Amino acid sequence: MSPTSYDDWRSGFRWRIPERYNIAVDVCDRWAAADPERTAILDVGANGRVEAWSFAALREASNRFANGLRAHGIQAGDRVAVLLPQSPAVVVAHLAIYKLGAVALPLAVVFGPEGLLHRLSDAGARAVVTHAGGVAKLGPLRDALPDLDLVVSIDGAADGALAYAGLLAAASPDLIPVDTLADDPALMIYTSGTTGPPKGALHGHRVLLGHLPGFCMMHDFMPKAGDRMWTPADWAWAGGLLNALLPSLHHGVAVVARKAEKFEPEEAFRLMADLAVANAFVPPTALRMLRTVEDPRGRFDLRHLRTLASAGEMLGPETFHWATGALGLTINEAYGQTECNLVLASCASLGVARAGSTGRPVPGHRVAVIRPDGSPAAVDETGQIAVARPDPVMFLRYWNDPQATERKFLGDWMTTGDQGRIDADGYVHFVGRDDDVITSSGYRIGPGEIEDCLLRHPAVALAAAVGKPDPIRTEIVKAFVVLRPGHVPSEALAAEIQAFVRTRLSAHEYPREIAFRASLPLTTTGKIIRRVLRDEA
């Protein structure tokens, strides 16, 4: 039963984390025993053909893969990388790794050689499951990865990789999963690297249980009849994996899998219509791209779409209001980090949703905005967003970096490096990363408000604001802008956009310089890498 009041739910909430818990047993084997033919994955092929995978099929395939990995020496504690786009094989690999008591290392297929080398080397990965493209990338790196003993390719044996299908066919479908503790390592996700070299955030099996309250808020208390999940977010990212895939399977809700080279807004709407998607998790950058599609409800059958959630960057009022008008939905925004994800959220069905806010603390998580000495900031005072330990969603530690782990905490507060403020009603407003906040003429300016204002201009599709060093003002605001189709860069258009922001915000916040770009530098999770733009500025 869904709670009727946020305050009552939060005040009465108590964690019930069992001593022993295994993600794979929870999200797959439990359902395979209770309802074997229940649909778990709907895999959309390049030709549009849809293949349904039941929970029973996932259990058998993951048991076989786990036995195949074990036969090649993979054991509890070993790191096994998953370098694949959205597909049933990703789910099979994760489940098999968890059943062995090993540690899943999700990697985005867009990583180049340096990105892969850093993560695989730092993690000491023993095995990788990938496709032909991944095998080609790994080939020149093998000599620099002495721990890497096994590469398995879903596209067949080649260049030292074993065939995934052959490995499964030769292995037994019977397996007794390792009886893991809830605190045993299960998953290691590398930070997105917006402010420095990526670090491996190691999580225990309990991390999934820690996500469930926030997931319920984001999706208005899933499961409900007809629920079906889709996200364009890569399942290698905490958002795609822990804000969409695994929590949905926990609830027995089918997840749509679709490989995509890049995000196409028209195709996204068509997919949601054709597959009767009820629940979508769409990062802010992708939502802004969806805004470019005219009359989506008139052109696509979106009547099944029940919840729309977003996280990863500041959403902003402009996109929030667009969804209300264009889709008839309130975007449930959420906040978290790779180290401690989904601790703030909105929930339209509970009346917890406000344009420009990332939501309120999720029941079970203690979140505050603190000053540099660790004391709570006053109402509407800007400070650092922090999360109190212990918390089941919080990481165990950084891999091979105890000093960085120690620096992450101020007493019992896990610091985030994100600036925010809490209003009088308890809503948290994201201001920006510590390094992203712009200091100009004595003012501290968050880039999000400027970017949201830029998006209101009819010519602007995407925008990023950064600080550029200035001898008089310390910094000035410089904006990097991607234009909508049909608009051409010019000095006149730049001046028009500058005036547009100045009249709507203030004289100290408008961008004194504008640079037009065909695209913006993004992490694999769709976040703008402002560090690159600051260096350019």
User: How would you write 59-81 as a 3-class SS string?
Assistant: HHHHHHHHHHHHHCCCCCCCEEE
> CB count, 10 Å around CB of 27?
25
pLDDT given at position 469: 83
Residues 6 or more apart from 289 whose CB is under 8 A from it? 263, 265, 461, 462
pLDDT given at position 529: 80
Q: Superfamily for 19-205?
A: ANL, N-terminal domain (3.40.50.12780)
pLDDT given at position 506: 66
Q: Does domain 435-536 bear CATH number 3.30.300.30?
A: yes
pLDDT given at position 394: 98
> CB count, 10 Å around CB of 325?
9
Supply the DSSP symbol for 259.
-
pLDDT given at position 114: 83
Which residue from 111, 103, 115 is spatially nearest to 133, judged by alpha carbons?
A: 111
> CB count, 10 Å around CB of 267?
13
In the chain, where are the structural domains located?
Answer: 19-205, 435-536
> CB count, 10 Å around CB of 310?
28
Q: What's the rounded Cα separation, in Å, for the pair 45 and 132?
A: 17
Residues 6 or more apart from 1 whose CB is under 8 A from it? none
Supply the DSSP symbol for 181.
B
Supply the DSSP symbol for 52.
E
Q: Is 65 exposed, middle or buried (0-12, 13-18, 19+ CB in 10 A)?
A: buried
Q: What's the rounded Cα separation, in Å, for the pair 253 and 281?
A: 14
Q: Using the structure block, give the residue that is written with the tokens 């709907």.
A: 42
Which residue from 458, 521, 454 is spatially nearest to 487, judged by alpha carbons?
A: 458
pLDDT given at position 335: 93
Beta bridge partners of 205: none
- Cα dihedral across residues 517, 523, 524, 527: positive or negative: negative
Report the amino acid identity of residue 128. V
Q: What's the rounded Cα separation, in Å, for the pair 57 and 359?
A: 38
Q: What's the rounded Cα separation, in Å, for the pair 386 and 373?
A: 12
pLDDT given at position 442: 56
pLDDT given at position 326: 95
Q: What's the rounded Cα separation, in Å, for the pair 531 and 417?
A: 14
Q: What's the rounded Cα separation, in Å, for the pair 241 and 83?
A: 13
> CB count, 10 Å around CB of 283?
27
What are the distances in angstroms from CA 236 to CA 94, 321, 325, 452?
A: 11, 30, 32, 28
Report DSSP letters for 35-51, one per residue. -TTSEEEEEEPTTS-EE
What are the distances in angstroms from CA 47 to CA 50, 87, 188, 258, 437?
A: 9, 14, 33, 11, 45
Percentage of the chain modeled with pLDDT above 90: 77
Query: For 410, phi and psi rounded to 5 degrees?
Result: -120, 95
Low-confidence residues of the chain: pLDDT under 70: 1, 192-196, 434-435, 437, 439, 441-444, 446, 472-473, 506-507, 523-526
Biggest CA–CA distance in the chain, Å, is 71
- Packed helices 447-456 and 491-504: angle between N→C axes, nearest 10 degrees: 120
Q: Is 351 exposed, middle or buried (0-12, 13-18, 19+ CB in 10 A)?
A: exposed
**498 near 463, Cβ under 8 Å?**
no
